[in-house]
């Protein structure tokens, strides 16, 4: 075998090794950053449910900075960027922002405003429905049925918006599957609210009956 072939192969492999080393280093850095984004987003949502809105905002602002670092780390490695883990962290970041806005009654931020891809934004919106269900049930326990009924209408709007975007999973990142989960959450919430309304009506009827009986004494 001609030794020149081996030498040329060595040169090629050296270039490949350098490229792979750079990708691996960028991937490891980005993975650490995205894990922190996911952790911050979960804590931000928890803070929203507790009414600790300033803490939630601070965590979301921190995540925005981390996602900007991810963009920079993977700027020269689009194959790594689109491997999936960046999408997951952006989805969690979007969910935190959407949950914050909806529970506070504020306008939804756009994907561009929070720095996420469209598919991550939409899938995050689907996950937000689960947080809205949780908050609606908390409000039911506080006897705030009206708020819960209003948010159920918002959940319906989210679902119908999602199913109107009927695109392959490669484009929407599994939006159809997310929409199926959203539909089941809405139906469960509707059932819970129906039971709560009936219970409330029954308690009101019993109270009126007791009042009439007391008047007749």
pTM over 0.85: yes
**Using one digit for the tens of pLDDT, what is the confidence trace for 39-71?**
999 999 999 999 999 999 999 999 999 999 999
**Using one digit for the tens of pLDDT, what is the confidence trace for 107-156?**
999 999 999 999 999 999 999 999 999 999 888 888 888 888 888 999 99
**3/24: higher pLDDT:** 24
Task: Say yes or no to pLDDT of 163 above 60.
Answer: yes
CATH 3.40.190.10 fits 117-217, yes or no: no
Listed range (57-66, 179-188, 204-213) with the worst mean pLDDT: 204-213
Going from N- to C-terminal start, the domains of the chain cover 1-116, 117-217
Tell me the C-alpha distance between 196 and 201, whole Å.
9
Per-residue confidence band for 30, with pLDDT thresholds at 50, 70 and 90: very high
Task: Say yes or no to pLDDT of 164 above 60.
Answer: yes
Per-residue confidence band for 4, with pLDDT thresholds at 50, 70 and 90: low
DSSP the chain: --HHHHHHHHHHHHHHHHHHHHHHHHHHHHHHHHHHHHHHHHHHHHHHHTT-HHHHHHHHHHHHHHHHHHHHHTTT-HHHHTTSHHHHHHHHHHHHHHHHHHHHTPPPPPHHHHT--HHHHHHHHHHHHHHHHHHHHHHHHTT-HHHHHHHHHHHHHHHHHHHH----HHHHSSHHHHHHHHHHHHHHHHHHHHHHHHHHHHHHHHHHHHHHHHHT-
Give the pLDDT mean for 25-48: 97
Q: What percent of the chain has pLDDT over 70?
A: 88
CATH of domain 1-116: 1.20.58.2140
pLDDT for the residue 142: 84
**141/157: higher pLDDT:** 157
Q: Do domains 1-116 and 117-217 have the same CATH topology?
A: yes
């Amino acid at each position: 075998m001609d030794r020149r072939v081996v030498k040329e192969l060595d040169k090629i492999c050296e270039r490949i090794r350098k490229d792979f080393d750079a990708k691996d280093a960028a991937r490891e850095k980005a993975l650490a950053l995205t894990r922190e984004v996911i952790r911050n987003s979960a804590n931000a949502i928890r803070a929203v449910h507790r009414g600790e809105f300033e803490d939630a905002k601070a965590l979301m602002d921190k995540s925005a900075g981390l996602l900007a670092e991810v963009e920079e780390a993977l700027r020269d490695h689009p194959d790594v960027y689109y491997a999936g883990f960046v999408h997951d962290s952006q989805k969690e970041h979007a969910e935190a922002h959407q949950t914050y806005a909806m529970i506070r009654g504020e306008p939804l931020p756009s994907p561009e405003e929070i720095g996420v891809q469209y598919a991550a934004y939409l899938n995050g919106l689907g996950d937000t429905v689960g947080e809205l269900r949780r908050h609606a049930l908390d409000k039911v326990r506080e006897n705030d049925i009206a708020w819960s009924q209003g948010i159920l209408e918002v959940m319906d709007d989210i679902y119908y918006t999602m199913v109107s975007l009927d695109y392959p999973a490669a484009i929407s990142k599994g939006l159809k599957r997310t929409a199926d989960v959203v539909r089941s959450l809405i139906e469960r919430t509707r059932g819970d609210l129906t039971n709560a309304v009936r219970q409330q009506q029954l308690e009101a009827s019993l109270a009126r009956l007791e009042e009439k009986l007391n008047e007749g004494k």
